[in-house]
């Protein structure tokens, strides 16, 4: 991480050289924000059953700009006070919900010139192919350098170089830590263009050194008139493995949707060809990139044919969104298949409780691969301030 450390030191020296008084004003003008989370998971897989309540807090502080420079830190902490041994086993390494403790998830310095921002250090990332998962008590984070350029009309350009990754837990029942990537470093370059009215185009390339590379494309068209709206989208991804027994893979996805007033529905189809696809460079936030994803478990990226149907209604006067989703995956060349049935709802509070929301989910997974049913109940309550 020599490049990151040198960039941080250089930025710090520049800031100090401009005088302590002005630097002090940058800190005094900084902003504090955060989030409180209470996440409850209840899961039954086959004959195994467990539940867990995880309480988490995220506190972020960012200075004001000083000659284009800005510094920020974010602390995340979680605890599961009532977790028994069954909960620790089921929601530990694989699930990412049990890992009591704290981690400094962000500690970076950024420099903004015009509409371009360079950021170095620990940071949350949300860009094509690199996106931290945020569905558990703790948000995933990265250590590296990112660049976002918004200089061109209707276009955003993203670039990232990462060397370390912070999961939701350490996988051994403890708090998450920043750990080296398996392939020395990861990288990504992406572009999102909205030049054509109602059409969004995305292209991205990235990978892990000496492991794999990914090329991804997506086109998403949305339009409407009066109370009617419609959507058509397509996606393609190619995964190229460097030194692996896995076969190179391609996947294709299409999605069509329509809505009237506050009711919306879509149908998505996808096919994973030849081998196993990667859903991103790293980070669980990319897992639901495939249009045929279920609500919670996202999609499978093994050789298969898939489809998904979603219908939801937005009760705007109540600030309530509710819906159902069905996703089906058939492994090619076998009789094995998996299906997910989901019922979900999100309620946003207002007035004195503005910033508070509750999201509930029931999802059933029926897998003929291992003849195990899974029932998952989730209640997520969060308050942003």
Task: Please write the tens of the pLDDT for every residue from 342-373.
Answer: 999 999 999 999 999 999 999 999 987 666 78
Among 208, 236, 261, give the residue marking a domain's end. 208
Contacts (Cβ under 8 Å, ≥6 apart) of 317: none
User: 384: which strand partners?
Assistant: 35
Q: Give pLDDT, residue 369.
A: 64
Question: In the predicted model, is pLDDT for residue 380 greater than 60?
Answer: yes
In a domain, residue 98? The reply is yes
In the predicted structure, residue 83 carries a pLDDT above the cut 80: yes
Number of domains present in the structure of the chain = 2
Examine residue 385 and state whether it is found in any structural domain, yes or no.
no
Q: Are residues 193 and 277 in the same domain?
A: no
Nearest residue to 309 via CA among 360, 253, 265, 271: 265
Q: What is the pLDDT of residues 124-170, one digit of tens each?
A: 999 999 999 989 999 999 999 999 999 999 999 999 999 999 999 99
Residues 90 and 104 in one domain: yes
The alpha carbon of residue 21 and the mean position of all alpha carbons in its chain are separated, in whole angstroms, by 39
Q: Which residues pair with 379 in a beta bridge?
A: 40, 360
Strand 130-131 and strand 141-149: the pairing is unpaired
Give the pairing of strands 199-208 and 372-384.
unpaired
The percent of residues above 90 in pLDDT, for the chain, comes to 78
Q: How far is CA 206 from CA 132, 164, 262, in A?
A: 15, 16, 37
**Is the pLDDT reported for residue 8 higher than 60?**
no
Mean pLDDT over the full length of the chain: 91
| Residue 92 placed within a domain | yes
Is residue 352 assigned to a domain? no
Q: What are phi and psi of 257, to 5 degrees?
A: -145, 160
The domain in which residue 287 lies consists of 211-341+365-371
Residue ending a domain, choose from 185, 208, 231: 208
**Is 351 contained in some domain?**
no
């Amino acid at each position: 991480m020599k490049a990151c450390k040198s960039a941080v030191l250089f930025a710090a020296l520049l800031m100090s050289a401009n005088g302590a008084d002005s630097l002090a004003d940058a800190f005094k003008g900084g902003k504090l924000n955060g989030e409180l989370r209470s996440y409850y998971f209840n899961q039954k897989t086959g004959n195994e059953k467990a539940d867990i309540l995880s309480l988490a807090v995220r506190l972020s502080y960012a200075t004001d700009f000083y000659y284009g420079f800005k510094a920020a830190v974010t602390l995340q902490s979680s605890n599961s006070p009532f977790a028994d041994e069954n909960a620790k086993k089921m929601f530990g390494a694989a699930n990412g919900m049990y890992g009591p403790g704290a981690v400094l998830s962000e500690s970076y310095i950024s420099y903004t010139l015009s509409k371009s921002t360079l950021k170095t250090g620990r940071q949350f990332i949300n860009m094509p192919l690199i996106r931290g998962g945020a569905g558990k008590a703790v948000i995933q984070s990265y250590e590296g350098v990112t660049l976002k350029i918004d200089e061109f009309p209707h276009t955003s350009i993203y670039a990232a170089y990462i060397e370390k990754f912070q999961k939701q837990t350490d996988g051994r029942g403890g708090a998450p830590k920043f750990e080296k990537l398996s392939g020395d470093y990861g990288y990504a370059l992406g572009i999102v263009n909205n030049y054509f009215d109602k059409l969004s185009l995305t292209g991205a390339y990235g990978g892990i050194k000496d492991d794999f590379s990914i090329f991804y494309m997506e086109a998403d068209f949305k339009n409407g008139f009066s109370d009617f709206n419609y959507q058509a989208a397509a996606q393609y991804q190619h995964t190229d493995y460097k030194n692996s027994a896995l076969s190179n893979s391609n996947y294709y996805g299409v999605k069509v949707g329509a809505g009237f007033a506050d009711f919306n529905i879509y149908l998505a189809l996808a096919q994973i060809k030849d081998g196993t696809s990667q859903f991103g460079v790293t980070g669980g936030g990319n897992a639901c990139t495939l249009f045929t994803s279920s609500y919670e478990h996202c999609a499978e990226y093994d050789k298969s044919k898939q489809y998904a149907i979603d219908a939801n209604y937005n009760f705007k006067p109540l600030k309530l969104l509710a819906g159902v989703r069905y996703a089906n995956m058939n492994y090619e060349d076998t009789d094995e298949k998996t299906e997910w049935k989901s019922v979900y709802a999100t309620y946003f509070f207002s007035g004195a409780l503005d910033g508070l929301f509750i999201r509930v989910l029931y999802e059933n997974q029926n897998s003929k691969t291992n003849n195990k049913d899974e029932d998952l109940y989730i209640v997520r309550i969060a308050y942003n301030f």
